[in-house]
């Protein structure tokens, strides 16, 4: 994994160039598009700070990145400058962060992890329907019970049934016997096609599914399956802290990934990333999108080009080396918190490559949870777990104070 860090000036110049390749609502004769620059009363473009703020400048120019720009088709020509940056961003994520081969992946900047996950389910559902003549009731989405709720949400929207796998209460790993018995049961009911979602870090625990063991089961039993990786939480930390993991495009069993910039990269909301091997995006083609040049392959339709610019800028500002240091600092900080919990005899779950620490509910009083804004695993019952997410704003002093308070009660 390597890409260079760029200075703020270089980044600004590159974005200015891209904007100048876009068609400008100010200077060109544009009669046919139901869009414009942002409202001038509120978003005046002569504000002096804009000069050095490429993201804000892009936001006001308001380029639309509708469609998918890695497919090499003739996309909407109006915004080709910033769309080129999006393509560069997708290639960087797929090739440098996730080890993909050059120009062998497609993708786009999605509104978030939820859409990227549903996009994956949508593509595989259509793939099984079209390519294998599957019936809807022969397809299942398979995921662990610690998975994000976008999986049941997507299964519901797409009218596919789910198989939810148990995890071990302490290790948070998928229980092999449960996997075997539920898949066998489904096969007896006539299920032939499986959309398997593996977590490259769950939201609550930071647990990373044992992808080799789980996919081995599908391989050994000769099942027809496709693997999507939900890296909405872990996608911008795990590859930096664990460079030799099996979660990359080098792993032939994986077809697609979700990443979320608006979690670990601290980008603005609207910066999910969907990545998939070439040859699959086409299963999400909406032929009827005939007024969009280059057609549409995404769930969302219109989307702001400024989001792609924001992600690209953040990745380029730090460079791969900078992000490795940053992400390792966060996971190390979580590890040192765990060492102190261990001394206090407090039970917790922590994956050393991730910045989440989940603490058993019995050690946390409601007062402590409120004081430190800990997040429980459920708001509907007595929580079994509370989590701490060591982000940029989580300062050592506050962690120290938390441990002192915890010590008072335990
Ligand atoms: C946050 C998250 C999502 C959903 O992402 P949004 O950007 O909120 O749509 C999906 N999966 C995991 C593991 C997440 O942590």
Q: Render pLDDT for 68-103 as a digit per residue (tens, 0 to 9).
A: 999 986 666 789 999 999 999 999 999 999 999 999
| 250 & 362 share domain | no
Q: 230 alpha carbon to ligand 1 midpoint, in Å? A: 8
φ, ψ at 200 (rounded to 5°): -95, 70
Share of the chain above pLDDT 70, in %: 99
| 111 & 249 share domain | yes
Specify the pLDDT at position 75: 60
131 found inside a domain: yes
| 195 & 254 share domain | yes
| 345 & 265 share domain | no
Rounded Cα distance between 366 and 44, Å, is 47
Residues flanking ligand 1, CB < 6 Å: 112-114, 117, 148, 150, 202-203, 230, 232-233, 260, 272
Per-residue pLDDT of 359-401, as tens digits, reads 999 999 999 999 999 999 998 999 999 999 999 999 999 999 9
72 found inside a domain: no
Q: Which ligand 1 atom minimizes the distance to the CA of 199?
A: 13
| 272 & 325 share domain | no
**What single DSSP character describes residue 268?**
P
- Structural domain span for residue 119: 83-91+100-281
**Token code pair at residue 380:** 């509907």
33 burial type by CB count under 10 A (0-12 exposed, 13-18 middle, 19+ buried): exposed
Rounded Cα distance between 189 and 137, Å, is 9
CB 64 within 8 A of CB 303: yes
* Torsion sign, CA atoms 125, 131, 136, 141: negative
392 found inside a domain: yes
Q: Which has the closest alpha carbon to 82: 154, 133, 20?
A: 20
Q: Specify the CATH number for the domain of residue 348.
A: 3.90.1150.10
| 161 & 270 share domain | yes
| 259 & 400 share domain | no
Cα separation values, 351 from 7, 269, 366, Å: 34, 26, 25
φ, ψ at 183 (rounded to 5°): -70, -40
Q: Which ligand 1 atom minimizes the distance to the CA of 112?
A: 7
Half-sphere exposure (Cβ direction) of 7: Cα atoms closer than 13 Å: 3
Structural domain tally of the chain?
A: 2
CB 180 within 8 A of CB 217: yes
Rounded Cα distance between 138 and 41, Å, is 55
Q: 265 alpha carbon to ligand 1 midpoint, in Å? A: 13
Question: Which H helix or E strand runs over 319?
Answer: helix 305-344
| 116 & 261 share domain | yes
| 238 & 142 share domain | yes
Q: 161 alpha carbon to ligand 1 midpoint, in Å? A: 20
Pocket test for ligand 1, best of 115, 146, 150 (most atoms within 8 A of CB): 150
Specify the pLDDT at position 62: 95
| 204 & 336 share domain | no
70 found inside a domain: no
Collapsing DSSP to helix, strand or coil, 352 comes out as coil
25 found inside a domain: no
Q: Which has the closest alpha carbon to 407: 339, 344, 342?
A: 344
Among 231, 254, 281, the domain-final residue is 281
Among 253, 281, 309, the domain-final residue is 281
Segments of the chain scoring below 50 in pLDDT: none
| 168 & 273 share domain | yes
CB 90 within 8 A of CB 106: yes
Q: Specify the CATH number for the domain of residue 133.
A: 3.40.640.10
Q: Treating both helix axes as pointing N-terminal to C-terminal, what angle do 305-344 and 54-61 enclose, rounded to 10 degrees?
A: 130
Pocket test for ligand 1, best of 111, 148, 261, 303 (most atoms within 8 A of CB): 148
201 found inside a domain: yes
Per-residue pLDDT of 296-333, as tens digits, reads 999 999 999 999 999 999 999 999 999 999 999 999 99
**What single DSSP character describes residue 32?**
S
Q: Which ligand 1 atom minimizes the distance to the CA of 116?
A: 9
Question: Which residues, in sequence order, are CB contacts of 133 under 8 Å at separation 6+?
Answer: none
22 found inside a domain: no
| 153 & 226 share domain | yes
C-alpha torsion angle, residues 281, 237, 247, 203 (rounded to 10)? -80
Among 226, 258, 281, the domain-final residue is 281
Residues in the chain: 410
28 found inside a domain: no
Specify the pLDDT at position 408: 87
């Amino acid at each position: 994994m390597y890409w260079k860090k760029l200075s703020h000036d270089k980044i600004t110049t590159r974005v200015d160039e891209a904007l100048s390749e876009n068609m400008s609502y100010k200077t060109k004769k544009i009669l046919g598009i139901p869009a414009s620059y942002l409202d001038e009363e509120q978003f005046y473009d002569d504000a002096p700070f804009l000069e050095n703020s490429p993201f804000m400048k892009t936001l006001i120019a308001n380029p639309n990145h509708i469609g998918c720009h890695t497919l090499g088709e003739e996309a909407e020509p109006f915004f080709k400058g910033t769309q080129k940056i999006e393509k560069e961003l997708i290639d960087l994520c797929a090739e440098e962060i996730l080890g993909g081969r050059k120009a062998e992946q497609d993708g786009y900047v999605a509104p978030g992890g939820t859409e990227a996950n549903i996009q994956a389910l949508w593509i595989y559902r259509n793939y099984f329907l079209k390519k294998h003549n599957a019936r809807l009731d022969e397809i299942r989405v398979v995921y662990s019970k610690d998975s994000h709720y976008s999986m049941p949400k997507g299964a519901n929207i797409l009218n596919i049934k789910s198989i939810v796998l148990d995890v071990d209460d302490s290790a948070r790993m998928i229980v092999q016997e449960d996997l075997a018995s539920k898949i066998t049961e489904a096969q007896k009911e006539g299920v032939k096609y499986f959309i398997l979602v593996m977590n490259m870090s769950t939201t609550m625990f930071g647990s990373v599914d044992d992808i080799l063991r789980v996919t081995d089961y599908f391989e050994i039993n000769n099942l027809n399956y496709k693997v999507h990786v939900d890296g909405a939480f872990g996608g911008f930390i795990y590859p930096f802290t664990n460079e030799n993991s099996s979660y990359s495009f080098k792993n032939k069993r994986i077809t697609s990934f979700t990443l979320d910039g608006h979690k670990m990269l601290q980008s603005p909301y609207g910066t999910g990333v969907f990545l998939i091997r070439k040859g699959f995006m086409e299963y999400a083609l909406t032929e009827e999108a005939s007024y969009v040049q280059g057609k549409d392959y995404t769930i969302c339709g219109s989307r702001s080009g400024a989001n792609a610019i924001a992600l690209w800028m953040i990745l380029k500002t730090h460079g791969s080396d900078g992000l490795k240091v940053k992400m390792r600092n966060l996971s190390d900080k979580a590890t040192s918190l765990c060492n102190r919990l261990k001394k206090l005899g407090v039970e917790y779950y922590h994956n050393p490559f991730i910045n989440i620490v989940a603490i058993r509910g019995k050690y946390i009083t409601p007062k402590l949870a409120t004081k430190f804004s800990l997040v429980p695993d459920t708001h509907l019952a007595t929580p079994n777990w509370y989590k701490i997410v060591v982000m940029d704003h989580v300062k050592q002093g506050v962690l120290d104070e938390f441990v002192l308070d915890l010590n008072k009660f335990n």
